[in-house]
Structure 1
Amino acid sequence: MNAMPVRILLMEDDPGDVELILEALRGSRVALSVERVGDGEEGMRYLRRQGEHAAATRPDLILLDLNMPRMDGREVLLEVKRDAGLRSIPVLVLTTSDAETDIAASYGLGANCYLQKPLGMDAFFRVIKGVEDFWLSLAKLPPRGVVLENRP
């Protein structure tokens, strides 16, 4: 286990989903630090350390809802994956949509994973537990501060 907590940026506008996600992560075997923003514009300010987020820490992982006000998850994905300083951060789309167009668009924009929010608390907890088991325990996250060169 890392000495430093894994930093998660949760971009989610639904307070009920936020509570479910936080509750599911409370019993994590991995030390976590979770920050939450309610829309894509605020999320991008957080990632770019602008305004009220000037002291924000770079997340190790982003949990991203697609359907948010002001700037949706697709726009966020596009911005994150275009930015050499941010594109190495794994982005996990966690959304209610199971539309093939949303799945294809998310992967086309660089999502590292696409998860549908299930109905029911037990199923929701299983999805978040799966995120913990794979992304926080098995997968090796990029080193903090890594900047990827522009792709050809």
Structure 2
Amino acid sequence: MAGVNLQPIIIVEDSDDDFEATERALKRDGPIANPLVRFDNGQDALDYMFNRPPYEDRAANPIPAIVLLDLNLPGVDGRQVLTELKNSEATQKIPVVIMTTSDDPRDVNSSYAKGANSYLRKPVALEDLFRTIQLFKEYWLSVAILPKVGE
């Protein structure tokens, strides 16, 4: 098992139902050590990531271990969030996993071209979502060695 990383997991998801299902899936086999921080829009996620008000206190709002990002968000969408995160030296090493309903090859290719670390299609069926999140959790939180950003 890779080193323990207790930085938060940022989930950028505008759908309450999808967030709740994702949270349930992450905790299905017991609690996870990493705190979950949710944003329902891209602007708030970016403000958090770049220490802009009201998230200036980095001790209270730590850099995440990983970002789970929906593409289709109100206002600043996931594509813009991905671009800003990967274009900034301060955040470019943070793994960003796209999790969205789109399997459009243009979205897939564009996300990888912008620096996404993985692209998952969000399944419609709840059991399929649980399986997808379980595989995400096993790989990204147990197997992969994540960078310590800011060190």
Question: How does the TM-score come out when normalised to structure 2?
Answer: 0.91
CA contact (8 A) 2:93 2:149 kept: no
Counterpart residue number, 1:5: 6
Give matches, 1:1-152, under 5 Å. Answer: 2=3, 5-26=6-27, 27-28=29-30, 30-55=32-57, 56-146=61-151
TM-fit CA distance, 1:3:
5.5
Between the aligned partners of 1:28 and 1:76, the Cα distance in structure 2 is 30
Between the aligned partners of 1:139 and 1:98, the Cα distance in structure 2 is 24
5+ residue gaps, structure 1: 147-152
TM-fit CA distance, 1:5:
2.1
Identity rate, percent: 36
Larger RCO (alpha carbons 8 Å, 6+ apart): 2
The size of the alignment, in residue pairs, is: 146
Between the aligned partners of 1:111 and 1:3, the Cα distance in structure 2 is 23
TM-fit CA distance, 1:97:
0.2
TM-fit CA distance, 1:122:
0.4
Q: CA RMSD in A?
A: 1.5
Between the aligned partners of 1:3 and 1:121, the Cα distance in structure 2 is 29
CA contact (8 A) 1:6 1:30 kept: no
TM-fit CA distance, 1:54:
2.0
Between the aligned partners of 2:94 and 2:30, the Cα distance in structure 1 is 21
